[in-house]
Chain A
Amino acid sequence: MNRNLMWRGIIILAVVAFAVLSGWPPGEEINLGLDLRGGMHLVLDVEVEDALRAETERNMQRLVRELGDAGVPGVAGERLSDTSFVLTGIEPEQMQTLESWAEDELVPNTWRFDREGDRVLFELTAAERNQIETLAVTQALTTIRNRIDQYGVAEPVIQRVGLDDTRILVQLPGVDDPERVRNLIKSTAFLEFKLVDYPMGGRSAASREEILAHYNGRLPDNVEIGEEVRRDEQGQVTGRQYYALQKETVITGRDLRTARPSQGQYGDPVVSFSLNAEGARRFGDVTGENVGRGLAIVLDEQVVSAPNIRSRISDSGQIEGRFTLREVEDLSMTLRSGALPAGITYLEERTVGPSLGRDSIQQGLRAGLIGGGLVVLAMLFVYKLAGINAVVALVLDVILVFGALGMFNATLTLPGIAGIILTIGMAVDANVLVFERIKEELRVGRTVKSAVDSGFGKALSSILDANVTTLIAALFLFQFGSGPIKGFAVTLSIGIFASVFTAVFVSRFLFDLYLSRRQRVEKLSI
């Protein structure tokens, strides 16, 4: 066997070996898409307006309070939008004080303020606005990551979509109860502890009117009404209780050090929490001074329970409220991961259960084997011995496709499997082009050797031209398609390259190998 042949053979074997190593066993080496493995694909939008609004509100309250301390009392604040508020009730002589105070206290380039008569209008600057929005998205990202981490999903994908977008992409393979995960990600879990102003002793009022009556029809500025909804085991509402709460929070979720599921005194599921140093100090002070009052535990602005403070509590406690075990676990997880800085909307969701995914794989494999088998038979029938050449090329194509998938860490999706099957059908095209040429050359009267040579030579330009157009289609499909479609574009493209390689290089090699072994070849089985 001549050297040229030997080198070509070695190259082919090397390529095949490499492909086999990269792609076998397919179960382990190849990334399966969510549509085959089962899992969740979510695109979330972070409602940054919430964060903006919260910041505006917070600054407004702070300004009013600090202005009062700094000698400008009697100022009232009213929020106008998510990014602006107005302060009213300012005496003309105090305007100067206010302006110089604002210039000193407010961080430069965060708020703009304009005087309008006896009102001062405050508005967030664009720069600060961007800052807050970006921070909100980053925080949401971290919080969601924490929650998913705690829930325990293998190989999650959680990332921002685009640079200045408010969207987050979440991909979780192998999730068995998507409902729970959906709620877990979405729950804001904003925890606040507030003192109950009325009624005392851990009791509650039966209606808002009862509370209003206590305050003679008008709530003081520092009091708001909180509602507790009581449900039974089926989740049906059994009653509502009301409390007058002091607006200023004692501690929030941020002061927690840990939270975990535990058992309450009646054996019911509760969340047991402990506070960090700062929170513990404040908690101790407030509870110590307010024995006999109720302490309302407010979650997402709903009162969960309001037990009576019997004595000073220092650094730990329990949150109970007729929770189920699962609710307690989820609550612990979300408390530990932190509250979401803003609300979340699901823009897109695609969840596939694992059983569907398995069905798809089975069907794909079956179609592939049957289709492949039929094509092989056709090749052998039409081209006889040369058909074996085509069959070998076909088998190599499939091996190369899987190898490339493994090597590039590409993802195999269901349309991707269709792409492989399509490739099987189309791969023989290159071989057919060559074989038909060879037959023609033989008919014209050339010798076998020169027929093979010119057959390959003339067919080459056709092969290239023909496959370029399909490649163009695959390219744009990859660029603009969704996940599963990208998988199709990938397998189709790899398949095309593989089939050109096998038709031009491998088939040629096999022909030459066959011819080199024989002294004189009169006929070709083709």
Chain B
Amino acid sequence: MDLFRDTHIDFMKYRKIWIVVSLAVLVAGLIAIFYHGKLNVGIDFAGGTQLTIKFQEQPDVDRLRTLVAQAGFEDAQIQRFGDEDAHEVMIKTPLVEGGEEGSREQIVQALAAEYGGEGGQGLDLNEAGAPAISSLLTQADPEGLREPGADDFAAAEAGSHYAGVAEAILEARREVGLFNAWEEIGRVPGVTPNVLSTLRSQAHLSDFAVLAVENVGPLIGQELRRRGILAVVLSLVGMLIYIWIRFELRYGVGALMATIHDVLICLGIYAWAGFEFNLTTIAAFLTLVGYSVNDTVVVFDRVRENLQKNRRLPLVDIMNQSLNQTLSRTVLTSGTTLLAVGTLLLYGGDVLRGFAFVLTIGILVGTYSSIYIASPFALLWEQVFGAEARQKKSSAKAA
């Protein structure tokens, strides 16, 4: 199937209009970055704590906000995370003076007061590790496995039996993240009614579990910022140098303009959509830059080839020809990559959503810019600074 056989679209004809349109969108994008008042910077760069917490039932976000504020964190960000029925919440608190170790402890304490479950003392089976559960069972010995008179808790047979039971309980918990009811524990292999009743009397089930904690102190935050910026700057420089070596300056300028255009527009849309700006975002943008330059390079490669074949034709026409010839490839490659990242956006889960978003928008914008921005700019550069222009000037002077 031939997608675009022998097209003769005059891409360059309205290039001045397209440049203006792009500039307008770009400015809109820049303004959009500050649509929410400030950039939503993640803890990677701003420092702070981020907790992912799972509840037995969907908690009232306002109630959570009050609890967290009472613990001393009024500007906490709280939002739902994951699927509807997962009852997961993400709580993000900014850096606090003198609190490098973050807000985890205070927040967990505040939540425990409200969601700690009945029977507040003793082991929390939604939080404890296998060794702790194993010790509890070995000491209580519900199956009566320990020999009477032994006072060593590591009594071999009893100890290893209960260690196995504890591990099974943990494995079940790893699957679901949170035990919602004692019956779930009762179903774990090795948990006999005796074991279950011991657990019920000596331990409890809290209504929430911390699934993930991320805490970045001020020192590390600073370093991550520095490294993020370095990565971006050095990559851009590296790519520029590469293009300069492989192609002439005018193409480098064209590619640079197209890339800047892509990044700024994507940045604007990303910020407007409210996504968080963290290390993964930088990775996404860098990849986008790589991809965008990639795209542009393929067109310029063709231009260079056509130039060698038809020295007579003016650059405008050669560019048009090249664009038409590479149109199939451009659309197809963008299409398949879009299929991949689009799937990631829809099915990839919350953690990667921002990443996939950048790439999806980026590919769309990047394809547009490879066609309507890169070449016109290269042409512009050539007209203003290029060999033809210099010739005209010198012949004008001579005349």
Contact = CB atoms under 8 A, between A and B. Distances in A.
Interface of A: 35, 38, 43, 45, 151-152, 175-180, 233-234, 261-263, 325-326, 329, 345-356, 358-360, 363-364, 366-367, 370-372, 374-375, 378-379, 381-384, 414-415, 418, 421-422, 424-426, 428-429, 432-433, 436, 439-440, 443, 458, 461-462, 465-477, 479-482, 484-485, 488-489, 492
Contact of A350 (B170, B213, B340): B213
Contacts of A492: 287
Contact of A177 (B129, B280, B290, B347): B129
A236 to B, nearest CB: 11
A378 B336 contact: yes
B332 A432 contact: yes
B129 A470 contact: no
Contacts of B121: 233-234
Given A415-B283, A476-B230, 4 more contacts: A152-B131, A360-B351, A421-B348, A425-B341
Contact of B132 (A262, A326, A359, A488): A326
Nearest to A362: B349
Interface in B345-393: 346-349, 351-352, 355-356, 359
B220 A461 contact: no
A475 to B, nearest CB: 8
Classify the interface of chain B: helix, strand, loop or mixed.
helix
Given A346-B215, A356-B177, A477-B231, A179 B127 contact: yes
Contact of A436 (B220, B287, B329): B329
B279 A481 contact: yes
B280 A415 contact: yes
A358 B344 contact: no
Contacts of A263: 151, 153
The 5 closest A-B pairs by CB, nearest first: A425-B340, A177-B129, A355-B177, A371-B343, A473-B290
B66 to A, nearest CB: 24
A424 B359 CA distance: 14
A348 B351 CA distance: 19
Nearest to A423: B340
B340 A371 contact: yes
B100 A345 contact: yes
User: Looking at chain B, what size class is its interface with the partner chain?
Assistant: 35 or more
A99 B126 CA distance: 64
Given A325-B136, A415-B283, A476 B348 contact: no
A490 to B, nearest CB: 12
Contacts of A480: 227-228, 230-231, 234
B211 interface: yes
A329 B135 contact: yes
A94 B200 CA distance: 73
Contacts of B343: 367, 370-371, 374, 421
Contacts of A360: 349, 351
Given A43-B220, A422-B287, A476 B246 contact: no
Contacts of A432: 328-329, 332-333, 336
A347 B287 contact: no
A477 B325 contact: no
A70 B381 CA distance: 88
A156 B333 CA distance: 43
Nearest to A152: B131
Given A177-B127, A481-B227, A481-B283, A375 B359 contact: no
A422 B341 contact: yes
Nearest to B101: A346
Contacts of A384: 1
Contact of B100 (A347, A367, A467, A482): A347
Nearest to B82: A359
A481 B355 CA distance: 15
Contact of B347 (A358, A370, A425, A458): A370
A378 B211 CA distance: 39
B298 A363 contact: no
Given A465-B246, A469-B242, A353 B337 contact: no
26 contacts: A262-B152, A326-B123, A346-B100, A348-B215, A349-B102, A355-B178, A355-B211, A358-B174, A364-B352, A378-B336, A383-B1, A421-B344, A422-B341, A424-B340, A425-B339, A436-B329, A461-B301, A465-B246, A466-B298, A473-B286, A476-B238, A481-B283, A484-B280, A485-B282, A489-B283, A492-B287
Nearest to B176: A355
Nearest to B1: A382
B338 interface: yes
B271 interface: no
A367 B345 CA distance: 9
B336 A375 contact: yes
Nearest to B243: A469
A35 B246 CA distance: 39
Nearest to B88: A356
B335 interface: yes
Contacts of A359: 82, 349
A352 B212 contact: yes
- Central interface residue in A366, A414, A422, A492, by most chain B CB within 10 Å: A422
A47 to B, nearest CB: 12
Interface in B169-222: 170, 173-178, 209-217, 219-220
